[in-house]
Amino acid sequence: MNTGAKKLSSKQLANIVRPVLDAYSVELERTRKSAEARGKRRDWLWDGFISAFATSGGSRHYDEQIKPHRERYRWQAIERLSDPNRRELLRAAVNPRWREKKDGTPWYSAHLEGAFQRFRSAGGPGAILKEYESCKTAPERVSYLTTFRGIGKKYARDIPMGAYDAMFRKHFAIDARLKSILRATGNYTGKYEIDEKYLRDVAHHLKVNCWDLDKTLYTKRDEVLERLGAPISRGSKHATPSGGCMSPRSCKGR
């Protein structure tokens, strides 16, 4: 997929990003500590699923409707609800863009309910975490998470990155914002592994791990685009679904 933009090498992009990364260092450290604390919770995977289904299609829904009431969506709170109340709460958690199909039948709300049922059948988040941790490499963990309907390559990375999983510090959750930067550098291919390799090379030149660069590009996307001389879209981080089943087309027949 060639956007027509003049290609920048990974080293050139690193030089452009370096001042942004330096200015963001204090805030980045706070973000890292928050992710580390989240990863110490036994239910962090369930929290990650709530975040994934709430942010797919745009982060505004999560920021305005879920984040202020986060405790309602904790496993301990949800598992106590009656079936009708739980289904309604999980439906409300899903971003409205993908909550239901055009004919009104459940879509991603059904996927999140399915995830709940799988968590419960396994014995709760702790049991699912044991299954996840039995996967000894990042690709195995990605494959495991994508066995949940509605979770594709992007969110199978984003969920563990949100808990600062050590196996995912060499990975990127390539979303709409990171894609816009890749397009502006002329390096967006639409092939996840190739796009991720380019970003890994940028991180290598910056001498930072991929987690740090991912969070910097996500949070400071507009500043990076401005330094690239590229137009800035006002869409949110998750303006379009990405990765595997977090898109209408890729879910057909699943």
pLDDT in tens, 124-163: 999 999 999 999 999 999 999 999 999 999 999 999 999 9
Can you say how many angstroms the Cα of residue 125 is from the centroid of all Cα atoms in its chain?
Answer: 19
In a domain, 98, yes or no: yes
Q: Give the mean model confidence (pLDDT) for residues 221-238.
A: 78
| pLDDT of amino acid 5 | 59
Residue 138 falls inside a structural domain: yes
Length of the chain: 254
Q: Show the domain range for 165.
A: 41-169
pLDDT value at position 234? 56
Closest CA to 247 of 110, 108, 94: 108
Q: Is the pLDDT of residue 243 over 50?
A: no
Number of domains in the chain: 1
The pLDDT mean for the chain works out to 90
Residue 26 in any domain: the answer is no
Token pair in block for residue 185: 């550098």
Within-domain flag for 114: yes
Note the pLDDT of residue 4.
Answer: 52
Read off the pLDDT band of 241 (50, 70, 90).
Answer: very low
More confident residue, 247 or 228: 228
- Does the structure show a pLDDT above 90 at 167? yes
Would 207 be classed as within a structural domain? no
Confirm if 78 and 116 have CB atoms less than 8 A apart. yes
Strand partners, 106: 100
3-state secondary structure of 141: helix
pLDDT at 238: 40
pLDDT of residue 231: 85
Global confidence as pTM: 0.84
Give the whole-angstrom CA distance, residue 99 versus residue 86: 15
Q: How far is it, in rounded angstroms, from Cα 18 to Cα 57?
A: 30
Q: 23 in a domain, yes or no?
A: no
Q: Is residue 25 part of a domain?
A: no
Of 53, 208, 51, 75, the closest CA to residue 129 belongs to 75
The yes-or-no verdict on residue 192 having pLDDT over 50 is yes
Domain assignment of residue 150, yes or no: yes
Instruction: Supply φ then ψ for residue 107, to 5 degrees.
Output: -125, -95
Determine the average pLDDT of the residues in 94-118.
94
* HSE-up (13 A, CA, CB side) for residue 175: 27
